[in-house]
Amino acid sequence: MADDLLNDTKTYPGMAHWFDPVLLLQLLNNVVVSSIFGQYADRRLVIAALDTVPPEEHSKRAEDFRSRLKTDQHGGVWIDWVADLGDGFDSTYAVASLLASKDLKIGETLLPRGQALIMGGDEVYPKATREAYANQLRQTSSTIARI
């Protein structure tokens, strides 16, 4: 079953063809447009402006999150952070399978999975669209859960 899922090239994206002239032109267009307009449209500022709750609500949200984090026997809190999920199914699967692991052994050290996952950087590229996020993240996660 796992081989059938992993070889489904219609469902899962292939690696990006970085030297494809069409892709390079599309990316160049994105760079030009974002250079012209992007400096005035920081998405974080827009999100903050739309979240009109009072400061006390922000504090409550942070406390709610903190209250869900439990310390280990040494008083530490484990948080996972990932910045790049790769540019095709193979690399995305490799990173996602590590994130899904209950623990990770590095040398003789066994590291537990974090209680929270923070995603930064490039999760989907070369062109981030809603469909690309659905393919890269949701379908990869459901495939890992089935294997």
Closest CA relative to residue 101, chosen from 120, 129, 122, 82: 82
Q: Is the pLDDT of residue 10 over 70?
A: no
| Range of weakest confidence among 11-25, 42-56, 102-116 | 11-25
Confidence of residue 33 (pLDDT cuts 50, 70, 90): confident
Read off the pLDDT of each residue in 14-41 and give the average, rounded to a whole number.
78
pTM (two decimals): 0.54
Read off the pLDDT of each residue in 27-56 and give the average, rounded to a whole number.
78
Q: Given CA atoms 36, 42, 47, 48 in this order, what sign does their dihedral have? A: negative
